[in-house]
Amino acid sequence: MKSEKKKSKIASTGKDRVFYIVCGLIMVVLTLMVLYPVIYVISASFSNADRIVAGKVWLWPVDINLDAYKLLFSYDQLWTGYANTIFYTVTGTLINLGVTLICAYPMARKNLMGRGPLMMFFSFTMLFSGGMIPNYILVKSLGMLNTRWAMLLPGAMSIYNMIVARTFIQSNIPDEMLEAAQIDGCNDFQFFFRMVLPLSKAIIAVLALWYGVSHWNSYFNAFLYLKDRELYPLQIFLKDILVQSESITVSEDDYTSVGMLSEHISVAIRYCMIVVSTVPLFCVYPFVSKHFQKGVMVGSVKG
Amino acid sequence: MKAVRKATIKHAFKRDWRLYVFLIIPVVYTLVFKYIPMGGLVIAFEEYKVRKGIWGSDWVGFENFLKFFESYQFGRVVKNTIILSLYNILAGFPVPIIFALAVNSIRNEKFKKFTTTVVNLPHFISTVVIVGIVFMLFNSRTGIYGNLGYLLTGDFPTDLFASPSSFRHMYVWSGVWQNFGWNSIIYTAALSSVDPTYHEAAQIDGATRFQRILHVDLPSIVPTIITMLILRMGTVMTLGFEKIYLMQNSLNLSASQVISTYVYEVGLSASGSGDFSYATAIGMFNNLIELILVVVVNKISKKVSDTSLW
């Protein structure tokens, strides 16, 4: 802090002022470049569909109305997708955390017999894999094709995240603590549940965020393994409508009450879909972004 | 000797058996979902028939690999993979560094926090939504791109998604947009650990802030930059399926068909031949090259900058 103050006193010569302005400009330009599309999408979603297509929306909503949202909300598949995604995210993340932590804790114990070979066993899978087709055959032969299991089990543990958790446990839970607990008659099960888990809250939070976001965002497994529309997560619907431009079908009475589902309104609905599917992220993100960044640093420390 | 070893194993197991109980599920998971598919690669050497199964199908040796090497698609998909990936790595490289240097020089903490929070945000948006946003905004009739073009030239511009050359730019720069903030974190961290006495010494010698960037900040993150660049080069054959597949269409296929999407097309897509063996062989060829690249690149990185993945 002290040096910071000193710095600001010494600096601020004319040349430096130019430099600071340039730095500030770089940051402002890059920030605006990120922010502009985001704001535009949100604005468009609240705007009159004809105005969007006619290019009247540039930054703020024009002719604010919620027609497109109303139409979108009457689209049953959206709710099915939303419910499925929430299910996959919550269940999937819990499975991920469980498997990752029960793997990370023993691997963090330096005196574990066979630790080196086990580590090689796990980390080799980061370098080499069977690939798309063998995975597909496996999922098929396990009878998981077109079931919810196909969304939960194949990615039950990320080795990278396991190593991050292991490194965290290694550097945050000292050996002396284990020794002291052992003298008091604590076994490894008790130590794990009573000491390791409570002391690893920080890393558990980071892992939960990482896993949670990846479940929320993933479409690949669903795309390969699911056929039944009832099982589809949100991202698959988004893919069909946003990317493949599949038309949206709504029930009859909604159709007539808002008018024909023109090309214009379906453009507006696409903007709404982007907002609706990303809104949970936007709500949570400002509060957790710090943890994400911390997690990156934990991950980059090797043990 | 043997008896002693046996005794210590027995002792260790008796002491730590609970730890091994913990490991049962992770090990079984890894065996089933990671190693069995690796074993499944044998179908690359077969003429796999679903009815006959993996062990009942006929062996054909390297026929599938040769078929791929000789096909006209080979040159195309390998070339596309390498071009797209190199472009991606090189274009994605400078922006995070420049951003980190700028962030590090600014003293207004609130402004810093706001900008970094904003630019990290897109990293968490799903691939589908990113591609959706790109499609919407750059639509040549209804998007900003189309309307801006109309405003400036009086006519709608050409469709960006119908041309192979613009596919590459769209793919790469939407990726830069999405990830530069996130990728800058590692540089910001490296910069924050620069010893402040260097800066003070430079200031006393009359260095301007910009000179301090050139002679203090930049040299101190050069090792990080080199390591990151080398390690990224190791992934030059690794191009994720998800985003490319979404941005692909029949008009830009000549630039957008890469190895991973070709594997899908041959093996699993409705329009493909459903030739599992051939698709697996192509995928395996790619995986092997990736493996070799990562190992080689790590060796280089270890020599040059003393850092490696393992």
Least confident of A61-70, A86-95, A175-184, B164-173: A61-70
Looking at chain B, which residue has its C-alpha nearest residue A243?
Answer: B132
- Residues 102-141, chain A, touching B (beta carbon < 8 A): 102-103, 105-106, 109, 111-113, 118, 121-123, 125, 127-138
- Provide CATH 1.10.3720.10 ranges for chain A: 76-230
Domain limits, chain B: 2-59, 63-305
**B184 CB-near residues (< 8 Å, 6+ apart):** B95, B96, B97, B99, B100, B103, B116, B119
Gap between the Cα atoms of A271 and B249, Å rounded: 22
Identify whether the C-beta of residue A183 lies closer than 8 Å to the C-beta of residue B93.
Answer: no
Rounded to 5 degrees, what are φ and ψ at A227?
-115, -30
Q: Which residues of B touch A39 (CB under 8 A)?
A: none
CB contact under 8 A, A113 and B9: yes
The alpha-carbon gap from A31 to the nearest alpha carbon of chain B, in Å, equals: 6
Query: Is B63-305 in CATH node 2.60.120.10?
Result: no
As for the ipTM of the complex, it is 0.84
Looking at chain B, which residue has its C-alpha nearest residue A285?
Answer: B121
CB contact under 8 A, A270 and B38: no
CB contact under 8 A, A55 and B147: yes
pLDDT of residue B56: 79
CB contact under 8 A, A137 and B43: yes
Say yes or no: A190 contacts chain B, CB-CB below 8 A. no
Query: Is A76-230 in CATH node 1.10.3720.10?
Result: yes
Least confident of A242-251, B21-30, B123-132: A242-251
Q: Give alpha helix (H) positions in B31-163.
A: 36-39, 53-56, 63-70, 72-91, 94-105, 109-120, 127-137, 144-153
**Cα-only R_g, chain B:** 26
Say yes or no: B287 contacts chain A, CB-CB below 8 A. yes
Q: Give alpha helix (H) positions in A131-260.
A: 132-141, 149-152, 159-172, 175-183, 188-191, 197-199, 201-217, 220-225, 234-238, 252-258
Identify whether the C-beta of residue B64 lies closer than 8 Å to the C-beta of residue B73.
Answer: no
CB contact under 8 A, A129 and B38: yes
Q: Which residues of A touch B37 (CB under 8 A)?
A: 129-131, 134-135, 137-138
Identify whether the C-beta of residue B92 lies closer than 8 Å to the C-beta of residue B175.
Answer: yes
pLDDT at B209 over 70: yes
pLDDT at A303 over 60: no
- The answer to whether the Cα torsion of A232, A237, A238, A244 is positive or negative is positive
Where does the pLDDT of residue A6 fall: very low under 50, low under 70, confident under 90, or very high at 90 and above?
Answer: very low
* Sequence letter at residue B228: M
Looking at chain B, which residue has its C-alpha nearest residue A293?
Answer: B185
CB contact under 8 A, B119 and A41: no
Say yes or no: B141 contacts chain A, CB-CB below 8 A. yes
Q: What percent of chain B has pLDDT over 70?
A: 97
pLDDT of residue A256: 43
pLDDT of residue A253: 47
pLDDT at B306 over 80: no
pLDDT of residue A294: 67
pLDDT of residue B18: 87
Q: Write out pLDDT tens, residues B66-108.
A: 988 998 889 889 999 999 998 998 998 899 999 998 888 888 8
Say yes or no: A59 contacts chain B, CB-CB below 8 A. no
Looking at chain A, which residue has its C-alpha nearest residue B242?
Answer: A220
Say yes or no: B28 contacts chain A, CB-CB below 8 A. no
pLDDT of residue B143: 82
Where does the pLDDT of residue B189 fall: very low under 50, low under 70, confident under 90, or very high at 90 and above?
Answer: confident
The β-bridge relationship of strands B58-59 and B46-47 is antiparallel
Nearest to A48 by CA among A37, A59, A56, A38: A56
pLDDT of residue A4: 47
Say yes or no: B7 contacts chain A, CB-CB below 8 A. no
The pTM (predicted TM-score) of the whole model is: 0.85
Q: Which residues of B touch A128 (CB under 8 A)?
A: 38, 287, 290-291
pLDDT of residue A247: 62
In whole angstroms, what separates CA B203 from the centre of its chain?
40
Q: Write out pLDDT tens, residues B265-286.
A: 888 887 777 788 888 999 899 8
Nearest to A118 by CA among B4, B31, B8: B31
CB contact under 8 A, A34 and B121: yes
Q: Write out pLDDT tens, residues A143-195.
A: 999 999 999 999 999 998 898 899 888 888 888 888 888 888 888 888 899 88
